[in-house]
Amino acid sequence: MSNDSGSTEKNPWTTLEVTQVYDNPWIQVNHHDVLTPAGKPGLYGTVHFKNKAVGILPLAENGDIWLVGQYRFPLNQYHWEIPMGGSPLDEAPEHTALRELKEETGLSATELLPLGRFHMSNCIADEEGFIYLARGLTEGEQELDDTEELQIRRVPFAEAFAMASDGRITDALSVMAILKVRMLGLA
């Protein structure tokens, strides 16, 4: 039996019963009665995400990037991060990346470079995250969703790297994108 990572490891958990305890348009929460890898009765709670997380690091020719500032309800805090959004499970994340970049920043890109696929909180959730580097940028008008109230900042990449390094940027996709671009020497 193989999984997405190519591993042939057998699942050591036995699921006895699954009960859906919550459902909305974005997530589903399930309670699992299980037998643990040791064969003992146990429980597990999981969150199924109904969208993929897609983040885009827009990089200007001079090395500046755009950050989006918004209030994050679950954390009760204001955050700066790269543009991002939810991608329906049946939509290519590249398509979502270009759409979200335009919606949140007004930018259009001629080049989209994949930087990676990630699992977010894989101990309790099945959410997948994808990050992209966008280049060949043209500025335009934002096309915000009704639920978005955003600020945009254009900053030198070095400043964004410092923000990701010292904890001023804490969003996981944003930190991963900034560090990956730095690691690959793309900015």
Q: Has residue 145 got a pLDDT over 90?
A: no
Among 14, 101, 1, 123, residue whose Cα is nearest residue 54: 101
Confidence at residue 40, expressed as pLDDT on a 0 to 100 scale: 97
pLDDT confidence of residue 143: 80
State what percent of residues in the chain have pLDDT above 70.
96
Residue 12 is predicted with a pLDDT of: 95
Cβ contact 52:96 at 8 Å = yes
The C-alpha atoms of residue 172 and residue 119 are separated, in whole angstroms, by: 10
Q: Find, among 10, 12, 11, the residue nearest to 40 by Cα.
A: 12
- Other CB atoms within a 10 A radius of the CB of residue 50 amount to 14
What is the C-alpha separation between 164 and 64, in angstroms, rounded?
15
- Rounding to the nearest 10 degrees, give the CA dihedral for residues 33, 12, 7, 113: 30
Distance CA(99)–CA(94), nearest Å, equals 9
SS3 of residue 176 by DSSP: helix
Q: What is the pLDDT of residue 148?
A: 74
Q: Residue 4's pLDDT is what?
A: 59
Res 1: pLDDT: 44
Q: What is the mean pLDDT of residues 49-69?
A: 97
Mean confidence (pLDDT) of the chain: 94
Whole-number pLDDT of residue 3: 55
**Phi-psi domain of 120 (left: phi exceeds 0; alpha: psi -120 through 50; beta: other):** beta
Q: Is the pLDDT of residue 97 over 60?
A: yes
List pLDDT tens digits, range 1-28.
Answer: 445 566 678 999 999 999 999 999 999 9
Q: What is the pLDDT of residues 161-174, one digit of tens each?
A: 999 999 999 999 99
Percentage of the chain lying above the pLDDT 90 cut: 90
Strand stretches in the chain, DSSP E: 14-23, 27-35, 41-49, 51-58, 64-72, 77-81, 84-88, 108-119, 128-138, 151-156
DSSP assigned state of 177: H
User: Which stretches within 90-146 are classed as H helix?
Assistant: 93-105
Q: Tokens at residue 116, please? A: 């990676």
